Amino acid sequence: MSSTPDEPVSGAPAPGEPPYPTEPPAPAEPPYPAEPAWASAPPPPPPPADQPPVSPPPPAGGAYGAPQMPYQQSAYPAAAGAPLSPNDEKTWSLAAHLLCLVGGFVAPLIIWLVFKGRGPFLEHHAKEALNFQITVMIAWVVTIITAFILIGFVLMLVVLPWMIVMPIIAAVKASSGEWYRYPLTIRFVN
């Protein structure tokens, strides 16, 4: 198929036309729906004069347009959750004492706050471990301050084994189900 000079090639502009269109074609008008039925309905009649006006119902959506749901309990447990089993109480009590060796006072504090009100045995042991760790921190501050007058070095030889051995003894007592109180401990948390 050969093209003759008289026939324009398809897609090529005709002679005398610019190589591209100068104006884009106008967009087609979108079709509009017919007027809805509620737009042409008459307004409701006013209430009789002897009855008070009725307030309109609340909107269908809740805050920010979210649909309102009937009241249901939260998926998260309440502050005081279900009581722990005796084995769980023993396990967490053991953890409160042994984690002191790694985490200091933070571990029993977290255990006490998380499991508060879920078992008296666990709560007692977590408070005891927390009180003991606070007392150990105070003992270390006194040891460091008195190290300048050489008494602190003697106190270090007492405080270091005390802070390691006592939590282990308390953990053994907790694992056997005994209520244990640390000796020489200031009770800050009751």
Which CB contacts under 8 angstroms, 24+ apart, belong to 86-89?
Answer: 86/121, 86/177, 88/119, 88/122, 89/119, 89/121, 89/122
For residue 28, pLDDT over 90 is answered with no
Read off the pLDDT of each residue in 161-188 and give the average, rounded to a whole number. Answer: 92
Q: Which pLDDT score, from 0 to 100, does residue 35 have?
A: 64
What is the chain's mean pLDDT, rounded? 79
Q: Which pLDDT score, from 0 to 100, does residue 42 have?
A: 72
Helix H or strand E encompassing 54:
none
For 67, the 3-state DSSP assignment is strand
Domain boundaries, the chain: 86-175
- Distance, in Å, from the CA atom of 137 to the CA atom of 82, rounded to the nearest integer, reads 33
- Distance, in Å, from the CA atom of 101 to the CA atom of 99, rounded to the nearest integer, reads 5
pLDDT band for position 66 (cuts 50, 70, 90): low
- Distance, in Å, from the CA atom of 142 to the CA atom of 154, rounded to the nearest integer, reads 12
pLDDT band for position 14 (cuts 50, 70, 90): low
Q: Which pLDDT score, from 0 to 100, does residue 25 have?
A: 64
- Count Cβ atoms within 10 A of the Cβ of residue 100 and give its class: 0-12 exposed, 13-18 middle, 19 or more buried: buried
Instruction: Specify the higher pLDDT residue, 84 or 34.
Output: 84
Read off the pLDDT of each residue in 162-179 and give the average, rounded to a whole number. Answer: 93
Read off the pLDDT of each residue in 99-112 and give the average, rounded to a whole number. Answer: 91
Q: Which pLDDT score, from 0 to 100, does residue 81 have?
A: 74
Q: Check: CB of residue 170 under 8 Å from CB of residue 180.
A: yes
Entry pTM? 0.56
